[in-house]
Amino acid sequence: MKILIIRLSSLGDVVLASTVIDALKEKLPAAALSLLVYSKYRDLYDKDRRLTDLISLPPSPASFFDLLRKLRKMRFDTILDLHCNIKSLLIRMLVPAGRKVSYRKGHWRRALMVRAARLKAPGRRRFLLAPCRPVAELLCQKTRTHHTVELFLKPLRRLGVETTMRPPRLFIQPEAAAEVEGFLSQNDVSAEQVLIGIAPGARWSAKRWTTSGFAQVCDQLLKDPNIRLIFLGNQADLDFTQQILTRMGGKPLVATGQFGLKGLVAAIGRCSLLLTNDSGPMHIATALEIPVVAIFGPTHPKLGFSPLGPRDVLLHADLRCSPCSLHGEKRCILKHRQCMEQITPETVFEAIRLVLEDNRQSSVISELNQSLTS
């Protein structure tokens, strides 16, 4: 059986698509799996033994029609669409296959939750909104969203594959691991030292924790001579990283923009822990079984994008106005960033300490989160 899996973007979602790959290989070990992604995410699955074919789509419009011709010749038995946008719809329509299955995004549930949170945000003075607030409160209480992984796995039932929730899984390429080890060796990082990754970037600025918060936590961590810090991210994160560095007294390693995607995966895999916002690197860490301390602000774990690792810690202020956008793309409607400001450096440092000591108690972490709203 030949199965085409489509998930074109974005970074975190492409990582989470690995749960579907694992589920299919577990139940249909003889199936030939092909994965279609945008070319910039190809390195996540390069040389992945679970896949028979890794197909990438370049950004140019003309390449899409070349891709259609290529896919039509591959004669798939099943097409599994985990993206459901215009391009993936055209592929489903124009590429022949015996079965064509797509997942339901649950967009309306998430959008409803966002809209309800915005309506019940404190401090909004529009008189006409007042009657809507009780309804918004009820909607927030009753609306249940599903995790993205759950939504990805659900259509597998139509293929006769029953499975359960699982974390994503990626593999580190040996050449990328060697590149990272070379970088660490040049900067005198020994195998005995604890390496903590700092991934402060995010696609949308509203999803980034404060520069002062990152700086204070990093300086506190660097007081331990056995701890080394490494800043990670792509070229777009350089400016924000530099803002943090100017507020720091200590000197971490800075690998922001240093590695490609393969190298980023290998660098995260070398860490003992990753401090991050709600971002793609968060899911990469979980896929490598690296615990994360993840900071959520305008987005919210209940939207279904939270990490799934057993030792992952999620910190959020859980304000009445959260979540105020699906992906953090909108500005704060109250013209403040309390969802980030209320997450203190002390809380973040304590969460990191608990994970590093491997003494994480769910009740303790729950208390940490609850303390943000008190």
Global confidence as pTM? 0.90
- Amino acid identity, residue 79? I
Q: Residues with Cβ < 8 Å from 46, sequence gap 6 or more?
A: 54, 173, 262
CA 202 to CA 279: how far, in whole Å? 6
Query: Starting from the edge strand earliest in sequence, which strands make up the sheet with 253-254, in order?
Result: 253-254, 227-231, 194-199, 273-277, 292-295, 313-315
Q: Residues with Cβ < 8 Å from 340, sequence gap 6 or more?
A: 208, 209, 210, 213, 295, 297, 317
pLDDT tens-digit readout, 26-81? 999 999 999 999 999 999 999 999 999 999 999 888 899 999 999 999 999 999 99
Q: Pick from 298, 278, 279: which is nearest to 114 by CA?
A: 298
pLDDT tens-digit readout, 146-195? 899 999 999 999 999 999 999 999 999 999 999 999 999 999 999 999 99
Q: Residues with Cβ < 8 Å from 78, sequence gap 6 or more?
A: 1, 2, 3, 4, 97, 98, 99, 100, 101, 159
Q: How many residues does the chain have?
A: 374
Is 214 a residue whose pLDDT tops 80?
A: yes
Give the pLDDT confidence score for residue 344 in this predicted structure: 96
Helix (H, G, I), strand (E, B) or coil at 317: coil
CATH architecture of 174-373: 3-Layer(aba) Sandwich (3.40)
Helix (H, G, I), strand (E, B) or coil at 339: helix
Q: Pick from 103, 43, 133: which is nearest to 304 by CA?
A: 103
Q: For a pLDDT cut of 90, what percent of the chain falls above it?
A: 74
Is 118 a residue whose pLDDT tops 80?
A: no
- How many helices and strands, by DSSP H and E, does the chain display? 15, 11
Give the pLDDT confidence score for residue 362 in this predicted structure: 45
Rounded mean pLDDT of 353-372?
60
CATH architecture of 2-104: 3-Layer(aba) Sandwich (3.40)
- Amino acid identity, residue 291? P
Lowest model confidence (mean pLDDT) among 161-165, 174-178, 241-245, 327-331: 327-331
Domain map (residue ranges) of the chain: 2-104, 107-142, 174-373
Whether 2-104 and 174-373 share one fold: the answer is yes
Helix 362-373 with 345-356: angle, nearest 10 deg: 180
